[in-house]
Structure 1
């Protein structure tokens, strides 16, 4: 070991990974320096570091990707080294060179490794020349869209479009048929340019039923390279890993040794130093057949599962290797003990196609116990921005065997409470309890196949009743009754009707009616949920823990009441099923307007109104106001938390919009309206004899629609 490491290390990242690195630096006695954007001024990593420096506004290019700002922070804090975490500048060749010029150590590999492995095209060609097997495809730099289309037939369909400078599955697109390729390539380039600053693309054959297995390596500056076993990362959605585990149940010891040596060969070929990961596609049907995909020249999100089964701190070894230390273990010293599984907790709404969510953390309860580890960025009161990746935390469970690890992870997820923002916790529990997952029958397409059958639980009667009572209490304790919009009147209390928005837009909203006195010790409130039976109900609260009684049956839950906008009074977050939010006045007005706009539309006809699926930024507008469009034609794209969502015309018609790239939009904001073409008028038919006019009742019975206002949305 060296006698002297670094005095100060700057962590050029944010979120849970910055917190995790800072924890190791503290244990090693090294002063930590954090950096932050305006959106992260109150973030956990800022609070936990010894010193913190502002980089700039929220936009990553003006803060975390701003090399000059990070260098200035190094000078201000006296940092002798920079740990880049993952994402942002972690694999930036220009950043590594700038640090070298400034005399600051980059805690990562050298320039040669970054240059070769940071470009998927070059890395694939390079390792192939060193005997590492690669996936068939076209990997040539500088190919235009037209050239990629021309060579695609030689690769074969289905194929995968991949950004050369990318990672983490971003910008990757599956193309089933040749005619789909021209429409997908521009989107892939735009995402690649936005995420990585390089829109170079290449094509790979899509391997059926593949497993994604990666090998963790460590290499020092003295020529020693070892691997620390593999991680199974096959549970992915849209090429983003969701659940990772170590070791893989697919590999036997002989295959583990072969794939590990192939990873070490790839590292040796670029004189690699530090911690790195070599990713392989492995055939589920033939585990002995594996193909190099890429090398991640950084720490991986899933590194904790390797730490749990090896007992090694990878961040500590990154720091020690960067300081010139020699590895004090060889390959024969590496032993894998037990099994570890990691679940990524995201700010997203699984019921709405996993669209990112944002908001404030009002209740936080993180798990603990035997074999449980939590790497988290969360704090009570933390506001989650839509400017960055939606990952909030990682929950990791270790056990002496895989079954124990999975059971502990399920229990830990059940114990986790993050109220105030939508998360994927319920989805994670459904996934790890799937029969195929429990049996180890994994592949990279499993999640997509399973999703249609996953049933997300809606808030139940007890949760909705509690939310309604708490809302009513908030209204009763509000400002002067003369200024409230809750139905207050002199005399008997008017019934209060609340509409709670369903998390899944395809499902009807929940309607709860409250009669009587909802506050006080007496159970004298009557609650009706979705037209069901009347329930005598009471609510008692101790902080965020609450007990709601329905007809004498007590139900415990977690509940938070937040200030409202004067129409509904509060927003409630209840139970592990997510949230129930009373519709605000403006939201309800927009829904009524949408109902009116849709009135008269034929049953089954497309909705002409296109809304933003998430809060974000308009990144592309493909048409102009007043343009003639056809069904399925791309109109514009919205990006949030590194996810791009494309909106297309629902029907042939004329589009109305008033947006430009760079505009910020809210969730459910109307972005465009497509006025459908009128139905063609056919040849006149002979007139039928007129019949006597029907009465309104008869017309209604015959199915003639009567005028309606706001159907489906009950009033307050």
Structure 2
């Protein structure tokens, strides 16, 4: 076994890998960019090496700097985690050339399965069913359009080199193909450095089921059952579970054998995942989508139902050990469900969020596990992936696991950064989810029902209570009645104390009307006989996984920022990020809804469109500009008829 392993990643997966290294008595080496100098994974590792400035291209994606860090610390092996260089064949080869063991599959397997076009051809030859779609690599835009027309819409555009939903586009109208192909290529190029696309038939209401495989260097390949990953937003998984309620034993065995054959077809070694698309009405008709040649984000649910530590087996296989068990020894016991906590704001259309973690509470124990890269004081920026942590629950059956996970999400507190924890808790209580009636479009269909349209009154009551308490004079003795926030007036009727507050865009004047208690990091208010208790930190309040940033409303400052205050003609940044595309110039005539700019944050693109027909009067950014949330980007003066 290796004595020292370098973890070429960051965040929760780096912390997760370091935990297993410590349990095995293996020394861990963390790497960090300037943005992560005080990050949790850095503090938990045995040693850490700075590898560059904040941009990933100059740090976590720099093969040269990672290899230099390994050499400086005496590491014998490199664990890539997931994301960044985990599925980069060039990195795997560079590690081997440097005398390091890459804790993952051979470079040729990464290369083969990383090209979705070649991967489909390879597994098809091995007898694995694949999704109907285009053939051949390097298709031009015209060839992609022709293939889509031949298959028939709806179709799915997919980057050949990618994964994680990046660059994927569902197209239901052939007239939109050109624009969607351009957008998919742009995102694929930014995410993977390769804009090669393929097109596949879209299967309506599909289920996404993947099989975990494990292979050693001695010819042994086993599968560890399936994971259901059908709860997704924008092709990104948000909840995963094992096993799937859809599969019976016969289908599970057949899909598992197909996954094993897919792994054998590329000479696989280590932990990997074979992903299938499954028609919900016919589980026996499953199609290979792709193979992820790395550890998956959702690997903890497999660990909980099998009792295996997948990171440990990655290390053992990489060290040359054979698997100590066969297919017949694998048993799935109980049920496990995972929810991904991401830095995103459900109230703003799930746009990426950021900030400093002011208060943090992450549940552990009693069938609950949290894998996290957070600590209080962590600065969440826009440069890296928005996933912050994962909350996983285990129980003897699915109902118990669901109940435990909902409870754990209600206990989760992350103040200072907006997250999706409360949304996920409500999603897990949706009748279709409880019944196991899942498909990849379910979340998008019910999302509006799971995001409250308004801020609850008790939130404003709690925020006002905190401010009221802050105004009370300290100390004993005589008190000036004018210094007491009671609304008392000399010779007049007492006037209730009100506070101008803003949690969303519209300000609210709130006057406390209930009773309250403010102590330390908690505030409790009672309205209409109901007591509500919140966690608090600075201007943040949290409850049941939800969080609200309730600021004092300053009309003058508000007039300078925010779409609601900058005027209907102004286009503002919906999230902190970087302007990647500018399609217009000052003086251009634009149509209503025309795409003008693209802002990117946390690997997500957001298109800024013209609010109405008019003329571009101001343009305050260029490609590469870093922008803050609500910053004015451009102003479009409406045409006379539009103004009318």
CA distance in 2, matches of 1:550, 1:158: 50
Offset at residue 608 of structure 1 (A): 2.2
Does residue 618 (structure 1) correspond to residue 579 (structure 2)? The answer is: yes
The verdict on how the C-alpha distance between 1:547 and 1:92 changes in structure 2, with shifts beyond 3 A counting, is same
Does residue 547 (structure 1) correspond to residue 524 (structure 2)? The answer is: yes
Deviations 1:639-693 (A, max 9, x none): 11111101111222111312111100011111111111112999xxxxxxxxxxx
CA contact (8 A) 2:507 2:553 kept: no
Name the Cα RMSD after superposition: 2.5
CA distance in 1, matches of 2:2, 2:247: 39
The verdict on how the C-alpha distance between 1:670 and 1:359 changes in structure 2, with shifts beyond 3 A counting, is same
Among 323, 330, 333, the alignment partner of 2:326 is 330
Does residue 354 (structure 1) correspond to residue 350 (structure 2)? The answer is: yes
1:511 maps to which residue?
509
Structure 1: runs of 5 or more not aligned: 479-486, 514-526, 528-534, 562-570, 599-606, 683-716
SS at match of 2:640: coil
CA distance in 2, matches of 1:490, 1:502: 28
Offset at residue 250 of structure 1 (A): 0.6
Offset at residue 578 of structure 1 (A): 1.3
CA distance in 2, matches of 1:50, 1:401: 38
The verdict on how the C-alpha distance between 1:290 and 1:477 changes in structure 2, with shifts beyond 3 A counting, is farther
CA contact (8 A) 1:227 1:264 kept: yes
1:673 maps to which residue?
635
Offset at residue 83 of structure 1 (A): 0.3
Structure 2: runs of 5 or more not aligned: 475-484
Q: How does 1:559-708 map to 2 (within 5 A)?
A: 559-561=536-538, 571-576=539-544, 577-583=546-552, 585=554, 588-590=557-559, 598=567, 607-655=568-616, 656-679=618-641
CA distance in 2, matches of 1:41, 1:664: 21
The verdict on how the C-alpha distance between 1:632 and 1:461 changes in structure 2, with shifts beyond 3 A counting, is closer
SS at match of 1:99: helix
Deviations 1:168-211 (A, max 9, x none): 11110101011001111111111111111111111111011111
Offset at residue 575 of structure 1 (A): 2.9
SS at match of 1:578: strand
Offset at residue 499 of structure 1 (A): 3.4
CA distance in 1, matches of 2:306, 2:355: 37
Does residue 108 (structure 1) correspond to residue 85 (structure 2)? The answer is: no
1:438 maps to which residue?
434
SS at match of 2:200: strand
The verdict on how the C-alpha distance between 1:61 and 1:316 changes in structure 2, with shifts beyond 3 A counting, is same
2:84 maps to which residue?
88
2:482 maps to which residue?
none
CA distance in 1, matches of 2:124, 2:247: 23
The verdict on how the C-alpha distance between 1:587 and 1:620 changes in structure 2, with shifts beyond 3 A counting, is farther
2:244 maps to which residue?
248
Among 367, 371, 376, the alignment partner of 2:372 is 376
Moved more, 450-459 or 377-386: 450-459
CA distance in 2, matches of 1:555, 1:660: 47
2:198 maps to which residue?
202
CA distance in 1, matches of 2:34, 2:335: 40
Deviations 1:504-534 (A, max 9, x none): x5xx443224xxxxxxxxxxxxx2xxxxxxx
SS at match of 2:110: helix
Moved more, 455-464 or 215-224: 455-464
SS at match of 2:374: coil
CA contact (8 A) 1:467 1:580 kept: no
CA contact (8 A) 1:82 1:106 kept: yes
Moved more, 23-32 or 670-679: 670-679
Deviations 1:603-639 (A, max 9, x none): xxxx322111100001111111221111222111111
CA contact (8 A) 1:500 1:580 kept: no
SS at match of 1:208: coil
CA contact (8 A) 1:560 1:573 kept: yes
Superposition TM-score, scaled by structure 2 size = 0.93
CA distance in 1, matches of 2:448, 2:428: 16
Q: How does 1:57-136 map to 2 (within 5 A)?
A: 57-136=53-132
Does residue 165 (structure 1) correspond to residue 161 (structure 2)? The answer is: yes
SS at match of 1:207: coil
CA contact (8 A) 2:514 2:525 kept: no
CA contact (8 A) 1:427 1:456 kept: no
Deviations 1:544-581 (A, max 9, x none): 123345688754321112xxxxxxxxx23243441132
SS at match of 2:641: coil
Moved more, 672-681 or 35-44: 672-681
The verdict on how the C-alpha distance between 1:613 and 1:254 changes in structure 2, with shifts beyond 3 A counting, is same
Offset at residue 101 of structure 1 (A): 0.8
Paired residues, number: 630
Among 171, 176, 179, the alignment partner of 1:175 is 171
Moved more, 262-271 or 414-423: 414-423
Offset at residue 276 of structure 1 (A): 0.2
The verdict on how the C-alpha distance between 1:586 and 1:103 changes in structure 2, with shifts beyond 3 A counting, is farther
Offset at residue 596 of structure 1 (A): 7.5
CA distance in 2, matches of 1:554, 1:448: 33
1:705 maps to which residue?
none
2:51 maps to which residue?
55
2:393 maps to which residue?
397
